[in-house]
Amino acid sequence: MADLVSHPDEVKVVSKRFGKGATNLDRYLELDGYKAVQKALAMGPDAIINEVKNSGLRGRGGAGFSTGMKWSFVPKQSPKPKYVLCNGDESEPGTCKDRLIFEHDPHAVIEGVVIAGLSVGSHVGYIYVRGEYRYLSEIMQKAIRDAYARGFLGKNIFGSGYDFDVYWHGGAGAYEVGEESALMESLEGKRGIPRIRPPFPAVVGLWGGPTIINNAETLANVPHIIMGGAEWYAGLGPPKNGGTRLFCLSGHLSRPGVYELPMGYNLKKMIYEVAGGIPNGRKLKAVVPGGASTPVLTADEVDVGMDFDSLAKAGSMLGSGGVVVLDDATCMVKFALRTIKFYQHESCGWCIPCREGTDWLKKTLARFHAGAGLKKDIDNIYYLAENMLGRTFCPLGDAAAMPTMAFVKKFRKEFEDHLEGKPCPYEPLGRTMELPVLAH
Amino acid sequence: MRFSEQFEQRFTEMLGHYPTKRSVLVPTLLYAQDEAGFLSDEIIHEIAGRLDLTDLEVRNVISYYSMLTTKPRGKYNVQVCTNIACMLRGGEELLEHCSKKLGIGHKGTTADGLFSLEEVECIGACSWAPAVQVNYDFHENLTTVKMDKILDGYKSKV
Ligand SMILES: Cc1cc2nc3c(=O)[nH]c(=O)nc-3n(C[C@H](O)[C@H](O)[C@H](O)COP(=O)(O)O)c2cc1C
Ligand code: SF4
Ligand code: FES
């Protein structure tokens, strides 16, 4: 459905089978499908975990935690069943990559889930797909049925004596449900209210059993690591940032799209070479580098490697891989308002700093946007956001606070331009005149 | 209350996937809504009964999820994303355009019951912005001209 793009700098690992008909099981097998599971069956749990640890694979869902490490936290012995849960809720604004994996390579996700299961001695995996992605849950369900029919899933997979079941599960619209503990609540048929941690899901997860939760892209990488080896995978990116990443380039770009590039790829190059630069003769103003929750970078800060550690050093985050590019006719106050409006809408309302904080921020920013900001409120916005940080049950509060603080800190002048009575000075430049950016 | 055979088949199958009955609730509600258009008191009562839940427990879950509704919507629910990536490429203008063309606002339904309009959060089409979902169908890289054609297309389907 969604258009595929390509660029010579791409290194295709997870996207290797995109556009090649791999939803068809026979085709998938021709393209080396289901070899990794068989290899993993022969390797055994410890060797799988070591391989994934050494590959430097870090979670593609946002936090960038070492995947092998996460798997090693699951207790070997457990009186309750252990589970694998693939997170395909994909709702962080700017992110549209898991969708392509489900659409083009659903069996790779299944394989990743099974290998994760083998590594911890689990026998059941769930693949959670957000409700809006109905056409993808059809694709996923068919892939699962086909795999069962060949004996790749179910009892005695590949004649190994090991049983493994994989089920699909659908959401019904909620960003917060992408948060790992809310995801489990949702799968158990409840409202997506997070759980207090510890205990972490690796110890007490679904129905009280130890549970591995990983993003769909993380899991789709696993079969490639098993086949290509940890050393090869680690070598694709800088130290401790193994592999490649699906970068979702969006916003004011000539060639937006999802590109698979090595970890650490330079952001400036990504914008100007891979995605064709800024259209309509405009200049770059800012970039949100890893989904809406990551602190904005100014045009002067884009000469940076796109990996977890380099972006952390630059004061932001690699997050979910959603790179949103803003040109110089964008009003940052308006952009900040739209960002906070999202978090206010999605807050589950459980804790006060997040529920009240996002609402208050939204109201204050709306006042600025209407040209009625008060000078003292510029500091108040920052102060309010700062006080939400680390004071909430789940990281959604931080996800709302961090970008807000960066907008105020880095674009203070634009807030000052919206004070008492002055209409938005950026709106008249307005893009309504030059829209749509795309000609076709 | 009667659901389709496909619904019943899926429901029975899903019950076998989890250690607790309740786990099928969210996907089941969405499937039920797809058939009936909205979650009526009758449907809520029926599903609650099947899963050993109270009606209130089911209502609590419904109110959490943005896709679930207890009110009828138009046959075609036009969901316009105005979140950041779409906003930068005209999502808000697209919403306004649809609103004018259909003569309804956010969560409104046309008098003939054909269209509803909704402003939605990111639908995972950011690299192909601005994007709209009509029921489950994605429409991407939109312009107002393309949008008109799409809406006319749905209209002529009836
Ligand atoms: C509010 C919120 C929303 C999230 N949404 C998603 C999501 O849609 N998909 C995802 O994979 N991870 C999401 N995460 C991160 C998950 O909590 C979890 O860390 C991740 O799925 C772990 O997988 P990984 O280690 O492979 O990244 C979200 C986190 C928060 C706080
Ligand atoms: S931080 Fe927000 S979303 Fe997370 S638990 Fe608290 S209120 Fe809910
Ligand atoms: S922001 Fe509109 S689809 Fe993501």
| Mean pLDDT on A49-72 | 97
On whether the B76-156 domain is CATH 3.40.50.150, my answer is: no
pLDDT tens-digit readout, A323-375: 999 999 999 999 999 999 999 999 999 999 999 999 999 999 999 988 888 99
| Mean pLDDT on A11-23 | 98
Domain B5-64 and domain B76-156 have a common topology: no
Confidence of residue A438 (pLDDT cuts 50, 70, 90): very low
Burial code (b: 16+ CB inside 10 Å, e: under 16) for A18-39 equals beeebbebeebeebebbebbbb
Q: From its phi and psi, is residue A371 left (phi > 0), alpha (psi between -120 and 50) or beta?
A: left
Domain range annotation of chain A: 25-235, 245-327, 332-424
CA distances from A144 to A109, A153, A168 (A): 10, 8, 8
Confidence of residue A424 (pLDDT cuts 50, 70, 90): confident
CA neighbor of B115 nearest in space, from B59, B153, B82, B145: B153
Q: Which CATH architecture has domain A245-327?
A: Roll (3.10)
The CATH class that applies to domain B5-64 reads: mainly alpha
pLDDT tens-digit readout, B34-62: 999 999 999 999 999 999 999 999 999 99
Question: Which residues in chain B have Cβ-Cβ distances shorter than 8 Å to A345?
Answer: 121
ipTM of this complex prediction, to 2 decimal places: 0.97
Q: Which of B22, B126, B137, B145 to mutate to test the interface with A (most CBs of A within 10 A)?
A: B126
Do B123 and A248 lie within an 8 Å CB cutoff?
Answer: no
| Mean pLDDT on A47-61 | 98
pLDDT of amino acid A137: 94
Domain range annotation of chain B: 5-64, 76-156
Residues with CB under 6 Å of ligand 1 are: A 59-63, 65, 87, 89-92, 175-176, 178-180, 213-215, 218, 394-396, 399
Ligand 3 pocket test: pick from B122, B132, B139 the residue with the most ligand atoms within 8 Å of its Cβ. Answer: B122
A229 to chain B, closest Cα gap in Å: 32
CA neighbor of B63 nearest in space, from A350, A342, A206, A173: A173
| Mean pLDDT on A18-31 | 98
- Residue percentage of chain A with pLDDT more than 90: 92
Could you tell me the strand order of the sheet in which A124-129 lies? Answer: A165-170, A124-129, A83-88, A211-215
pLDDT of amino acid A435: 41
The alpha carbon of A353 and the centre of ligand 2 are apart by a number of angstroms equal to 8
Quick check: A154 pLDDT over 80?
Answer: yes
Nearest CA in chain B to A192: B64
pLDDT of amino acid A422: 79
Cα angle A202, A90, A203; round to 5: 5
Confidence of residue A429 (pLDDT cuts 50, 70, 90): very low
Q: How does the average pLDDT of chain B come out, rounded?
A: 97
| Mean pLDDT on B69-88 | 97
pLDDT of amino acid B93: 93
pLDDT of amino acid A437: 42
Sequence-separated (6 or more) residues with CB below 8 Å from residue B63: none
pLDDT of amino acid A1: 63
SS3 A377: helix
Confidence of residue A432 (pLDDT cuts 50, 70, 90): very low
In this structure, how many other beta carbons lie within 10 angstroms of the beta carbon of residue A333?
25
Q: How does the average pLDDT of chain A come out, rounded?
A: 95
For the record, the structure tokens of A352 come out as 């006060």
CA-closest residue to ligand 2 atom 8: A348
pLDDT of amino acid A306: 98
- Give the residues across from A288 on adjacent strands: A324
On whether the A25-235 domain is CATH 3.40.50.11540, my answer is: yes
Nearest CA in chain A to B91: A436
| Mean pLDDT on A208-226 | 98
Q: Which fold has domain A332-424?
A: de novo design (two linked rop proteins) (1.20.1440)
